[in-house]
Amino acid sequence: MRLRGKTLGIVGFGRIGQAVAKKANAFGLRVLAADPVVSSATVESLGATSVDLATLLRESDFVSLHAPLTQETRNLIGLNEMSLMKPEAFLINAARGPLIDENALYKALTDGTIAGAGLDVMVDNVPAQDHPLLSLDNVIITPHVAFFSQESTLELEQRAAAEVVSVMHGRMPDNLVNAAVLDHPNPRHKLK
């Protein structure tokens, strides 16, 4: 199908969602974004429109998930959410498997609620060989490597090294995972 003129809904408009929006704009897609923590001004500055999740699901031809996995986002997309989508819509998950209720997805894909899905992640990193989604013709599943290129691997290595350098120079890393380390009594752990 032709992409120009279609609507891409991006759920989670952080760094990766924003990069997807830039690419989508180049293909002539209308871009909607749903993210409770990103301002409408930021969304609009990237050529997208900020909407709530229900509006995004109703209006999108493609729904692409880029949200973090939290208690609030676990099973963010279930049968109710998929029932809002167009029957010709596709659901894409390149973030975290548990954002989607996989049982609901199987039902939606087999009863025609949505047209198809592209999953770069699943609830289990290595799904059972008899997982029902693996039997469907309207789903593409990759093992969380859809990003892969030599350049992207090099970029990941360089970003990790830059974080180490920041900490070694007493600066706060951009992507701190364990905030408890900031309370450590050792003064070398006090970051700016």
- Structure tokens belonging to residue 181: 């380390």
Whole-angstrom distance, CA of residue 88 vs CA of residue 41 = 30
Contact, 191 vs 163, CB < 8 A? no
What's the pLDDT at 153?
Answer: 79
What is the average per-residue pLDDT within 71-95? 97
What is the average per-residue pLDDT within 139-154? 79
Q: Give percent above pLDDT 70 in the chain.
A: 94
Residue 83: band (very low, low, confident or very high) from pLDDT cuts 50, 70, 90:
very high
Residue 149: band (very low, low, confident or very high) from pLDDT cuts 50, 70, 90:
confident
What is the average per-residue pLDDT within 52-69? 98
Q: What confidence tens digit (pLDDT) does each residue in 31-58 have?
A: 999 999 999 999 999 999 999 999 999 9
Prediction pTM value:
0.80
What's the pLDDT at 146?
Answer: 61
Q: Which of 17-26, 96-105, 147-156 has the lowest mean pLDDT?
A: 147-156
Contacts of 185 (CB under 8 A, 6+ apart): none
What's the pLDDT at 189?
Answer: 56
106-144 burial, b at 16+ Cβ within 10 Å, e below that, comes to bebbeeebbbbbbbbbbbeeebeeeebbeeeeebebeeb
Q: In whole angstroms, how far apart are CA 41 and each of 21, 50, 66, 119, 145?
A: 14, 9, 19, 30, 32
Q: What confidence tens digit (pLDDT) does each residue in 6-33 have?
A: 999 999 999 999 999 999 999 999 999 9
Length of the chain: 192
Q: Give percent above pLDDT 90 in the chain.
A: 72
Whole-angstrom distance, CA of residue 2 vs CA of residue 61 = 11
What is the average per-residue pLDDT within 119-125? 93
What's the pLDDT at 190?
Answer: 64
- Structure tokens belonging to residue 40: 């409408």
